[in-house]
Amino acid sequence: MTLEYLDRYNVVDYRTLRAVGMTHAAISSAVNCCLLKLSRGTYSIVRACSESKHRSVAKLINDEDWVEYFRTTTAAGRAADYRFDEHMARLKIVHYRHFRAADAVSGASAAFLHELPLYEAELDRITVSNPSAASRSPEIIRRRRQFSSEDVCTIHGVRAFTSVRTGLDMITESGPADGMAALEGGLRTQVEKESGDSQIGKNNPRRMQTIGREIVARDFVPAAMRLRQGRERALRILTIISPLSENYAESRTSFALHQTGLHDFIQQWNVGRDGDLLARLDFLHRQTNTVLAFDGGQKYADFGGERIKHEGRQQNELLNMGFRIVHLEFGDIMNLKRFETKLFAQAPQLLDYRGKPTLK
């Protein structure tokens, strides 16, 4: 059990606030001032407040870094950061006080706990599965469904579906593309853990792929066989997942390629020049020397103009070496028709290698 979400972020409950002298009215007025409400009766302290009726809250602060984070960021900046939203969703789940004994956190909520890559997932309500009860409230959606104890684990002190079962469920709940991204994220984490090398994807991607396929056969396929619905589609997706995808965009690109019938692209391929590493290609079709480059604006925001200059020089070198580069934007990989149009317009030679799509 990891304690990060259990003993940090100044999480307190209503009883604790009352014990230090806060009245019910004071607690209510402190919300969105020095407290953030996580769920019914549970709060996170985000600053030491100078308001007289809120001052006793400061006695409970034990995570100064969390307070400093709020001091140095703006509400608008936090609202625009999906990582903050997902972090708050995890806090809400971990500290929810009204789970039933048979509940298992599932769906997108379980994906948040396992930190699987998601896109526009439900953040507001916690989703759980229960073998004998169903209910719905502003805080939780409880679905009646049967599941095996083999598909349940404890994470951050919470009973939840395993990473594998969660990824398989996301195929049905959010679609096969999102399900594949969740499965690949979980697989990558598992390979890093079992290999004992958090940099295996960078240092030895081919070894990472080998270990990944072993884990899929050992853990993922048996979990898919336990599914009551969607088993055939899940097994088909398991034939193409890879631990080499580093983020949602790469997983989505891989999914689009397999849906287009292009199954020969290699991920994370190093290209050398004069004995040195020139570039690490996200996707390469070796037969046609076609490279797919994902143009995400965030990487330029993170690294600035020098990153742009470096990639410009890198691209010129690759072109001089005979590579054809297809630049993709996020909108391209989200729309299969748009993806195919751009890909085959810029690299028509790929048409000769097109086979059957993985899923119809």
In Å, what is the CA distance from 129 to each residue of 105, 146, 166, 168? 6, 8, 11, 14
Question: What are the boundaries of each domain within the chain?
Answer: 11-72, 91-236, 246-353
pLDDT score for 274: 62
319 — pLDDT class (breaks 50, 70, 90) = confident
pLDDT at 352 over 50: yes
pLDDT score for 195: 96
Report which DSSP code applies to 31: B
Between 304 and 168, where is the model more confident? 168
Let me know how long the chain is: 360
Strands (E), the chain: 11-13, 35-39, 42-45, 104-105, 126-130, 135-136, 140-144, 152-155, 158-161, 266-273, 276-285, 290-294, 324-328
Distance CA(37)–CA(18), nearest Å, equals 15
Between 318 and 240, where is the model more confident? 240
* pLDDT, average across residues 42-51: 94
pLDDT at 5 over 80: no
pLDDT score for 3: 57
pLDDT at 155 over 70: yes
pLDDT at 299 over 70: no
Distance CA(52)–CA(54), nearest Å, equals 5
pLDDT at 237 over 70: yes
Q: In what order do the strands lie in the sheet with 324-328?
A: 266-273, 276-285, 290-294, 324-328
What is the tens place of the pLDDT at every residue in 158-191?
A: 999 999 999 999 999 999 999 999 999 999 999 9
Between 66 and 307, where is the model more confident? 66
307 — pLDDT class (breaks 50, 70, 90) = very low
* pLDDT, average across residues 131-139: 96
pLDDT score for 312: 58
Nearest residue to 245 (alpha-carbon basis) of 304, 179, 183 = 183
Between 280 and 168, where is the model more confident? 168
Residue-averaged pLDDT of the chain = 91
pLDDT score for 300: 33
266 — pLDDT class (breaks 50, 70, 90) = very high
pLDDT score for 296: 56
What is the tens place of the pLDDT at every residue in 49-75?
A: 989 999 999 999 999 999 999 999 999
Q: Identify the three-state secondary structure at position 206.
A: helix
Q: Which fold has domain 246-353?
A: Endonuclease; Chain A (3.40.960)
Q: Are strands 276-285 and 290-294 parallel, antiparallel or unpaired?
A: antiparallel
Instruction: Calculate the CA 345 to chain-centre distance.
Output: 31
pLDDT score for 279: 82
Percent of the chain having pLDDT more than 70?
93
pLDDT score for 311: 61
Are 274 and 333 in contact, with CB atoms under 8 Å apart? no
Between 240 and 309, where is the model more confident? 240
Report which DSSP code applies to 157: T
pLDDT at 100 over 50: yes
pLDDT at 326 over 50: yes
pLDDT score for 82: 85
pLDDT score for 305: 40
What is the tens place of the pLDDT at every residue in 84-94?
A: 998 999 999 99
* pLDDT, average across residues 25-40: 95
Distance CA(278)–CA(266), nearest Å, equals 17
pLDDT score for 320: 83
Region of poorest pLDDT, from 190-204, 244-258, 283-297? 283-297
pLDDT at 249 over 70: yes
pLDDT score for 7: 82
